[in-house]
Structure 1
Amino acid sequence: MRALRETNAKDYTAEIIARIEPSFGPDAVRRLIGQRTVFVATIGGRLVGTASLDGSVVRTVFVAPDVQARGIGKLLMAEIERTARERNISSLTVPSSVTAETFYARLGFNAVRDSYYGDERTIIMERVLIERT
């Protein structure tokens, strides 16, 4: 999956990328549709982005490199947030790659802690949707 390598190569080793690539492929997304709420973005019939909601956890957010910075990821995340609010989910958590940390921060997510799987660093980020009183 060349697109994942192009997007994350500056932040992750080739070994880490090879290990996580299968999680973002078409077959993986198809399997997840039965387990999570999955959103996809298309342009002219071409699948260019995906995001999913697994309870209160945002997962598998990805936009094809050639269409990044056009607002597709932001639109996918708006759908995630809308759905979460409809379900009365009080906060969203996202295990962010180093590459995507700034993207999520711009959407109001705050870094909570780092998580490591071997040498793969993931930033656990959270966004409160419903203030508790």
Structure 2
Amino acid sequence: MSVDAPAISRTIIKSLRKSNAQDYSSDIIDQVAQSFSPAAILHLLTQRQVLVAVVDNHIVATASLDQDVVRSVFVDPNYQGKGIGRRLMERIQLIAKNAGLNLLRVPSSITAEGFYASLGYKKVRDEFHGSERTIIMAKTLDL
């Protein structure tokens, strides 16, 4: 999986720059992108359960589970709207259920709020990190 870190990084940064740019300033995008360098991804791989979706031997999406928090769900803009993100989230939820979790939380971007809402996540509150708005959402899992 560590050899995948550069590809995971590229997928995330491409998604940030194309999809999230409609809701966030370029300064915020640049700041968030720094958190997803290949080195940062390598570190995250040791701390979280990281999933990827592969099409034609290329990583096109990723999602991770950090205890009871879903993190870093990104789909390459060329593959958005094809159900890949939904399938990754279904797999994350299955992993969480199998671990005995009954509640998942997700810090959502403004851009992804509708996606998570379509999966049954409800807004809990807004958080602000400087001028970056994150929507904290949660979903109860059926055990």
Please give the range of the TM-score, normalised by the shorter of the 2 chains: over 0.9
Letter in 1 for 2:36: F
Moved >4 Å (runs of 4+): none
The partner residue of 1:90 within 96, 102, 125 is 102
After TM superposition, the score normalised by the length of structure 1 is 0.93
The answer for the alignment partner of 1:122 in structure 2 is 134
Deviation readout 1:74-107 (Å, 9 max, x if unpaired): 0110110000000011100000000000000000
Contact 2:15 2:77 (C-alpha < 8 Å) held by counterparts: yes
Contact 1:109 1:126 (C-alpha < 8 Å) held by counterparts: yes
**Does the alignment pair 1:51 with 2:60?**
no
Q: Which runs of 5+ in 2 are unaligned?
A: 1-12
Moved more, 21-30 or 35-44: 21-30
Structure with more relative contact order (C-alpha pairs < 8 Å, separation 6 or more): 2
Q: In angstroms, what is the RMSD of aligned CA positions? A: 1.3
Displacement of 1:130 after TM fit? 4.2
Q: Percent identity?
A: 48
Contact 1:6 1:65 (C-alpha < 8 Å) held by counterparts: yes
Contact 1:89 1:129 (C-alpha < 8 Å) held by counterparts: yes
The answer for the alignment partner of 2:79 in structure 1 is 67
**Does the alignment pair 1:20 with 2:32?**
yes
Letter in 1 for 2:81: A
**Does the alignment pair 1:10 with 2:58?**
no
After TM superposition, the score normalised by the length of structure 2 is 0.87
The answer for the alignment partner of 1:40 in structure 2 is 52
User: Hey, which of these two has a bigger chunk of helix by percent?
Assistant: 2
Deviation readout 1:9-61 (Å, 9 max, x if unpaired): 11000000000013334433332111110100110110110000000000010
Q: Which runs of 5+ in 1 are unaligned?
A: none
Counterpart secondary structure, 2:111: coil
Q: Distance in 2 between matches of 1:93 and 1:3?
A: 21
Q: Distance in 2 between matches of 1:122 and 1:22?
A: 17
